[in-house]
Chains A and B, each alone.
Chain A
Amino acid sequence: MGLSETHAALRGALGVPSPAREQAREQLLTRLRPMLVLWSGTRMSPRLKSRMEPEDVAQEIMARVLKGLDGFQAAHGDGETRSFHAWLFTVGENCIRDLVAREDAIKRRPPVLLSVSQTSPSQAAYRREQVERMLQALDALEPEDRDVIRLIKLQGLTAGEAAPLLDKTPNAVRIQLCRALKALHLRLAGPAGSTKAGETPPRLPR
């Protein structure tokens, strides 16, 4: 979900309290969920992954976002999308750090019902699998490739913003992003079933 889509969904989610706002919030989180699953998958340490699924972490983040939206609204008025993204990923980071700290105490939570009735039945299964496949492909990348994709494609940072975080020049970040996406494509284009859930897929040569 890009920034522009987020903006439209965010406007509705930050209005005055009303049934429509609640519905818009649910809609916003529903739309954010796949991205948050991917983000969590690329952000979680192997140890945390051995305890929790990215879906669980995304769920936890969404729960916190839902609780914190009023606070965000108070601080940012009607919500500037970049601020929302920055806030969202801060919530995500905090959430992951908390989960790592108390991972032993974490139990899986049942998913919150966030359904969109217009989704077709085949879409649901297909999309679940698509997200799962993407997670596996991201998992198989080199860590720095995963980082650059997460920061730029999922978090929406610019190459300049990501550069100091990755200890690279902005130009090197742009180039690495290209390489990372090529590697991702190679992973996605691999044979069906070449990786299984729960297994660490092999790394491809660079």
Chain B
Amino acid sequence: MAPLDPPSTSDEILADALEEYHGRIALGQPTDPASYAARLGSRFEEFLEVLAAEEALDRAMAEPETAPLPRAFGPFTLVREVGHGGVGVVFEAIERHLGRTVAVKILRTGIDTDEDAKERFRREARACAHVRHDHIVTIHGAGEAEGQLYYAMDLVPGESLEELIKAGRVPESRRLAGELAKVADALSEIHAKGVIHRDIKPSNLIVRPDGLMMLTDFGLARVDGGLRVTRTGQLLVTGHYASPEQLLGDQRRIDRRSDIYNFGVMLFHAVTGQLPIPTDDWNVLYRRRLHERPPAPRSIAPEVHPDLDGIILKCLEPEAGDRYQTAAELAAQLRNFAAGRAVDDQGALSPSVRFGRGLKRRWKPLAAAALLLVGAGLGLRAWWTGRDGTLELRYAPQFAALLKSSGLEAPPPATVWINEKQVGALPWRGDLAPGVHRGQVRIEHADFEAYPLEDDPEQPDRGFVVDAGARVVREVLPMPRAGLGGLGGVGRLLEGSHPELVRPPSLTRGLSGGEAPAELLMPRGAVRTQDLAEWMLDINAMAFVPGGRLVLRRGKEELWTAPLELPSPESHLVCGRFPDAVLARIRPGETLTFGWVPPVPPSGTRPEARAFEETVRVLASDPSAELVPQVEQTYAAAHPRLVALLRARALAASGLLSAALQQVRAQVRDPLRDRLALEELVRVLRQVGVYTQLEQDIDDFLRGQGPAPRLCTR
């Protein structure tokens, strides 16, 4: 379970306000949420968010099921649903008085009270009606029926470009470019009428059976000079295709060049089969779109022609001024490429080309960097013995030898877990006191990709960026329950005992969390201090070293100016890599909790458990209430806890489950030792019949498949 922030007074104020708000509504006193603004102050926004989430839940729960088709709708008979987008649902329909088949797009009910959505819908109808083009779906009319807005348009047979991409049936690149050039012409015409589409993506491009492509869905179009209905910051465009300025929600900067960017992402997706930033993580998308250049399509699909590569990269320039300035320019270049003519790639150099040019200018520093990389690679090769994709924690040879020479057998391994999941086992260490040893590391970023060497005009003094397989060392002591004085104490202690390590002050903030301190240290002098502030922590491997220290490896672009000073590889007790499944769970911004749990030593609880089970067995054969006091008398002196558990079981048998839970819960003081009480707790939880993560956690722990559950202290 992830740690929770401790409840604060302001959290309680929010909870109180929410309770009061619902109380008033229940009493038939509708209350304006705005009346809480003054009372909640800076937390009012959160109050509104909570209400919005509740409303969304209510809406989702209040939905009846489907309606049969065909059915009449205004002047149409709806035949079947052919798709749905961000604002509306599209049906194939028959216009009854003309007998013709059309597509009818209906604004979704449920958001029809949202004036923004209504206005967007009307605007779409207006925008479509403004434009007549062979490559734009023609609109026939708009209206309102059954309280819902709709418009009718040509029913275009075919599939969306998105479907073709998914099916791997995208036309050959020159043919694709030729068709898309026509779409860019259509876009140019739209722009000329003052309309920005703002949602160009493969699903909004219909490919007819004859290969002709048609642009549709103007749901997000903005008529220049028209009413601005989108609230600043509201993200309307699909995130994967959004331009940087769209992601920023900066309406003033969104213009026709945003469409060019969207177009470029669509083209990228079509020719490589991948998105430039193939992530579903909003934080990663946002950060990389705003701060990084997209990869060259050729780096993903080498068969992409360099000219097409250049066209796409020019569309994807982060700065709108560096892109094609008009759709007509883009159309011309696509047409050039389709016809095999030279493409003007001014300003659209791929990183590989830039790298080649940069190489000529900077061969000396690059050679030095290459040497460093080789050195680092050799060091890491010696360091990481785990196989890729699998966790391999094992005895270091010298440790095994030590055991052997001492005539010792290896004790059972301790459970090692990351993010509450068991990921392996750690050899028993005699000096590691029983108990949960845990620490936390906040992961700012978890990708680990090789980046092409390229010029970075924004940081000319850096010259180039390399994937150095940079390594961050985090030192974590075997953490006692108390003592050492928290983070600072651990840091001082480590610095004192490991002079080769230094604690970068800029990175230590925010590293501690929860109940145990964690500390980031790194080889002294490994990097320039001024680079540290820019670090994003990428961790793709870990090692446990003597003293209970944990070493994490990261790989990401960094400029290294000094050799890596690896701690002695001989010092490592065990090492390993995160398995893919663990990597997949590590998300930017998440706190990674790691730790290891030595095996629970056999304790006195087992005889107690046997006595308990025996008593229960007797009770089961004679379920008379009188037996309980007898049992209490028998065991009270030796096992007061057992008696409490028996009482709990009696309560549970009487249906007083809540009281039983409390009774059992009170007996769990230390999950590592109170196994019997834990077993009973999970049993009562099951009897309550309401599954919770707590039940699962306890169960996992009891089966040795998870860390000790974190129970609240009262």
A contact residues vs B (CB 8 Å cutoff):
1-2, 5, 30-31, 33-35, 38, 43, 45, 89-90, 93-94, 96, 114-117, 119-131, 133-134, 142-144, 146-147, 149, 151, 153-155, 161, 164-169, 171-172, 174-179, 181-182, 184-186, 188, 190-196, 199, 201-206
Contact = CB atoms under 8 A, between A and B. Distances in A.
A128 B242 CA distance: 26
Interface in B658-714: 658, 661-662, 665, 685, 688-694, 696, 711-712, 714
B432 interface: no
Among B49, B52, B661, B692: residue with most chain A CB under 10 A: B692
B4 interface: yes
Interface in B269-289: 280-283, 285
B7 interface: yes
30 contacts: A1-B61, A5-B62, A31-B64, A33-B65, A89-B690, A94-B689, A115-B65, A115-B66, A119-B65, A119-B67, A122-B88, A122-B108, A126-B89, A130-B56, A142-B1, A143-B693, A155-B690, A165-B692, A171-B12, A175-B12, A177-B15, A178-B18, A182-B49, A182-B50, A185-B52, A191-B282, A201-B280, A204-B283, A204-B587, A206-B2
Pick the 5 closest A-B CB pairs, nearest first.
A191-B239, A127-B63, A143-B693, A205-B589, A185-B53
Interface stretch (B68-76, B297-305, B390-398, B500-508): B68-76
A178 B11 contact: yes
A164 B57 CA distance: 24
Nearest to A177: B15
A123 B60 CA distance: 12
Given A172-B7, A192-B239, A193-B238, 16 more contacts: A2-B58, A38-B57, A89-B690, A90-B689, A115-B68, A121-B71, A126-B84, A151-B692, A155-B690, A165-B690, A167-B712, A174-B15, A182-B49, A185-B53, A186-B49, A201-B280
Contacts of B11: 175, 178-179
Given A30-B64, A192-B86, A194-B239, A178 B14 contact: yes
Contact of A130 (B5, B49, B67, B110): B110
Interface in B48-107: 49-50, 52-54, 56-69, 71, 73, 78, 81, 84, 86, 88-89, 91, 106-107
B713 to A, nearest CB: 10
Interface of B: 1-2, 4-5, 7, 11-12, 14-15, 18-19, 46, 49-50, 52-54, 56-69, 71, 73, 78, 81, 84, 86, 88-89, 91, 106-111, 146, 148, 235, 238-240, 242, 280-283, 285, 587, 589-591, 658, 661-662, 665, 685, 688-694, 696, 711-712, 714
A122 B60 CA distance: 15
Contacts of A203: 587, 590
B239 A169 contact: no
Contact of B67 (A93, A115, A143, A190): A115
A134 to B, nearest CB: 4
B665 A185 contact: no
A32 B437 CA distance: 46
A164 B665 contact: yes
Contacts of B714: 169
Nearest to A124: B66
Contact of B661 (A124, A165, A202): A165
Nearest to B63: A127
Contacts of B50: 178, 181-182, 185
Contact of B61 (A117, A154, A167): A154
Nearest to A134: B60
A117 to B, nearest CB: 7
B239 A127 contact: no
Contacts of B108: 122-123, 125-126
A151 B690 contact: yes
Nearest to B107: A122
A125 B84 contact: yes
B636 to A, nearest CB: 25
A203 B50 CA distance: 18
A190 B692 CA distance: 26
Nearest to B17: A178
A133 B661 CA distance: 35
A176 B694 CA distance: 15
Given A126-B110, A165-B661, A166-B694, A93 B53 contact: no
Nearest to A132: B60
Contacts of A127: 60, 63-64, 110
Given A122-B148, A178-B11, A114 B65 contact: yes
A161 B658 CA distance: 8
A45 B587 CA distance: 21
B67 A123 contact: yes
B240 A193 contact: yes
Contacts of B61: 1, 34-35, 38, 154
Contacts of A155: 690
Nearest to A143: B693
A184 B53 contact: yes
Contacts of B5: 206
Contact of B54 (A45, A181, A190): A181
Contacts of A206: 2, 4-5, 591
Which among A119, A120, A144 has the highest number of chain B CB atoms within 10 Å? A120
Contact of A182 (B4, B46, B109, B239): B46
A116 B62 CA distance: 13
Contacts of B19: 174
A160 B110 CA distance: 33
Given A93-B689, A196-B280, A165 B694 contact: yes
A142, A146, A182 — which one has the most chain B CB atoms within 10 A of its CB? A182
Given A122-B109, A149-B57, A161-B658, A34 B62 contact: yes
A34 B689 contact: no
A130 B690 CA distance: 26
Contacts of A119: 64-67
A171 B590 CA distance: 26
A202 B53 contact: no
Contacts of B59: 130
B60 A121 contact: no
A153 B57 contact: yes
A162 B429 CA distance: 41
Contacts of A143: 1, 693, 696
B475 to A, nearest CB: 24
Contacts of A90: 689
